[in-house]
Structure 1
Amino acid sequence: MNSQAPLGMEARIDAILVGAIDPHVHSGPSIAPRAVDHLELAQQVSAAGFAAVITKDHDYSGVMTAGLIARHHPDLPTRVYSGITLNNVVGGLNPYAVEHTAAMGGKVVFMPTLAAENHLRWEKQASWSHPASTQKMRAATPVPVLDSTGAVLDAAKEVLDIVAKNDMALASGHLHVTEAWKIFEEAQKRGVKRLIFTHPEEIVGASLNDVKGIAAMGAFVEHSLCMFLEGSKFKVAGPEEMRQHIAAAGVGQTILCSDLGQPGVFSPLEGFRRGVRMCLELGFSDAEVHDMVSTNTARAFGLEADVDRVKSGGV
């Protein structure tokens, strides 16, 4: 009998996900409906051997919840982290909010999403609105990052300085790609080392040339699996588009996230399983897919120790 028989697909996916990180997941509580909360998420992905998750809410920093989970559930192998998104509720480009998030262990600062000028333009043509904006709170108002001449605002520069000082990651959020270029260039001038280009496949107006160029400047390109998978209400692209995006950035600069947690669609963990399967069926090797769901993400957010801990069997 051949003791080295190839693993079946499900076993391969299981192995690839040991040490995985979901760096962009919409667990709750939130003002918008959520199908899973932060603790439930940690419990579910712990069973799969994930090293970490980074929760994202459009309206608040989840660092306090992350601290509570770490204190009261030290048995969970998956570490929960969070960050802050610079929308209206936190005061937009608010240095106090960013410093507070950094002091509480936040890993990432997202440029405006629902309040980005680009998002508000996109929202009108897409006939989409945030599920809470007309029910529970007023509609978003723009949070610009550039002035009328196209120069980076001083308030944005102050945020970038805090990101650099605390070695946090900077994510482009829902800025238009032309804005993301300028913010990333300014960020690098100010010492930011960790750059994340958020879902070029939707909202931000990016071309494959943009993906290639932004990756070449050292940014990681983050793809939302929910936008590629059959059965997802957020699907806007498919496997061939994923192949093209990965080719443009290179496997080494590509990271995958679920961008899930909403009701009416599969769970973040199931999104990862389906996304891994898609990449394997595209012909990427197990090692390459593991890089895109674990190794690269750990480099992007400084979570290498968490991956090492899980792979060594630690909690």
Structure 2
Amino acid sequence: MEKNNDISRRDFLKGSAMFSGSLLLSGLFPAGASEVISKTAEMNDADDLLKGVCDIHLHAEPDSRARSVNEWQFSYDAQRSGYRSVMFKSNDFSCHDRAYLIRQGLSDMEVFGSICMNRVHGERVNAFAAEKAVATSGGLCRCIWMPTLDASYHYRCEGRKEQGIPVLDDAGRVLPEVIRVMEICADANIIFATGHCSPEESIVLTRKAQEVGVKRVVITHANSHFWTMTPDQIRLCIDLGAYIEYCYLPCLWGEGTKMAQYKRQSIEEFIAFVRISPERSFISTDLGQAVMPHPVEGMRDCIIKLLRSGIPQREIDLLIRKNPAFLIGLN
């Protein structure tokens, strides 16, 4: 296995360009992606763009949805590309236990997992599942997400009749089981993430998490779809101690892609979010969907766009290296 996987830097860049080219031909990359692909193939220092990257929100197989790559292969790809760490997210399954196994074969790669409080764990937020995730061998569960695809707010936005998993009671107070998960995150000093809760719910959760003593609160994809926050809401969450996640995925989906049901976010809009407070923000790809680019290619595209938009290198380092590394406990 070591011999088969031991590709050279040149081979990786060549493979990345070929892979990206196939994505373009199949319509997976949005318009204008050819410029990024040629950039990937031509730049002698392409790997330097990715050195030290920490992508802490991405999806891979095994999963209950189709993904573009499996966790082992992506971890290897990330390692060869110069990444420092990755953290996997599955909406239905824990992946911190698989991170433990991946590390046995990639001992010098920082691979972490997380767990989402979705229906697979019960009709309510399951604090027992969170407790056991944190206690799993290796201590590699570095984030507990509130409900995502099964969140009450997500269901309402999709017009579904069934009841999603709540985080607040009818009076707008944080539910006891959610507070217990906050306590678990505080004790383990790991991320408490707001998942697919509404912007208003996320503010309430952030305020309570601060009271409980959580040091690593993350507002999940604050620039994405119907979870998008206003700048004032973002600043309030930062004042309450949260870190803000901006996902690059919305800049890649939309018209002309296989995720055309979503409105694409312009680079200008994305950059406007990023500029609000780089000191308390980070960028993740949220990639891994079978019809989207490989997450490595997505991250490279994002970094190139940041540079071309005039974002200083110091702020880029905060957004894709230092802040996510802190959040998963590497610093």
TM > 0.5 fold call: yes
Mapping of 1:79-228 within 5 angstroms?
A: 79-91=110-122, 92-104=124-136, 105=139, 106-124=141-159, 141-201=163-223, 202-228=225-251
Kindly indicate whether the alpha-carbon contact (under 8 Å) linking 1:18 and 1:49 is maintained by their aligned counterparts in 2. Answer: yes
- In 2, the alpha carbon distance for the partners of 1:205 and 1:33 equals 25
Structure 1 residue 199 displacement after superposition: 1.0
- In 2, the alpha carbon distance for the partners of 1:193 and 1:157 equals 14
Percent of residue pairs bearing the same amino acid type = 28
Aligned equivalent of 2:36: none
Aligned equivalent of 1:3: none
Pair 1:215–1:14, CA change in 2 (3 A): farther
Q: Deviations over 1:77-120 (max 9, x none)?
A: 43211111000002241111101111122000001111111111
Letter of the structure 1 residue corresponding to residue 219 of structure 2: F
Letter of the structure 2 residue corresponding to residue 242 of structure 1: F
So what's the TM-score if we normalise by structure 2? 0.80
Aligned equivalent of 2:273: 245
* Greater relative contact order (Cα < 8 A, sep 6+): 1
Aligned equivalent of 2:57: 24
- In 2, the alpha carbon distance for the partners of 1:265 and 1:118 equals 25
Q: Deviations over 1:168-215 (max 9, x none)?
A: 101111000110111111111111000111111222242121112212
> What SS does structure 2 have at the residue aligned with 1:124?
coil
Pair 1:205–1:19, CA change in 2 (3 A): closer
Q: Quote the RMSD (CA, aligned, Å).
A: 2.0
Q: Deviations over 1:273-296 (max 9, x none)?
A: 000011111101223212211111
Structure 1 residue 218 displacement after superposition: 2.5
- In 2, the alpha carbon distance for the partners of 1:172 and 1:158 equals 14
Pair 1:154–1:279, CA change in 2 (3 A): same
- In 1, the alpha carbon distance for the partners of 2:203 and 2:90 equals 24
Letter of the structure 2 residue corresponding to residue 54 of structure 1: M
Out of 253, 272, 288, the residue aligned to residue 315 of structure 2 is: 288
Aligned equivalent of 2:96: 63
Structure 1 residue 243 displacement after superposition: 1.9
Letter of the structure 2 residue corresponding to residue 100 of structure 1: K
Out of 273, 292, 297, the residue aligned to residue 300 of structure 2 is: 273
- In 2, the alpha carbon distance for the partners of 1:61 and 1:17 equals 27
Structure 1 residue 302 displacement after superposition: 1.3
> What SS does structure 1 have at the residue aligned with 2:235?
helix
Letter of the structure 2 residue corresponding to residue 90 of structure 1: H
Kindly indicate whether the alpha-carbon contact (under 8 Å) linking 1:229 and 1:238 is maintained by their aligned counterparts in 2. Answer: no
Aligned equivalent of 1:132: none
Letter of the structure 2 residue corresponding to residue 285 of structure 1: P
Letter of the structure 1 residue corresponding to residue 218 of structure 2: I
Kindly indicate whether the alpha-carbon contact (under 8 Å) linking 2:59 and 2:89 is maintained by their aligned counterparts in 1. Answer: yes
Structure 1 residue 72 displacement after superposition: 3.1
> What SS does structure 2 have at the residue aligned with 1:299?
helix
Pair 1:302–1:286, CA change in 2 (3 A): same
Kindly indicate whether the alpha-carbon contact (under 8 Å) linking 2:221 and 2:227 is maintained by their aligned counterparts in 1. Answer: yes
- In 1, the alpha carbon distance for the partners of 2:279 and 2:101 equals 33
Kindly indicate whether the alpha-carbon contact (under 8 Å) linking 2:152 and 2:197 is maintained by their aligned counterparts in 1. Answer: yes
- 2:109 equivalent to 1:78: yes
Out of 288, 298, 303, the residue aligned to residue 261 of structure 1 is: 288
Q: Deviations over 1:18-73 (max 9, x none)?
A: 11111000111111111111001101111111111100000111011111111233
Structure 1 residue 269 displacement after superposition: 0.4
Pair 1:203–1:42, CA change in 2 (3 A): same
- 2:260 equivalent to 1:229: no
The aligned length equals 281
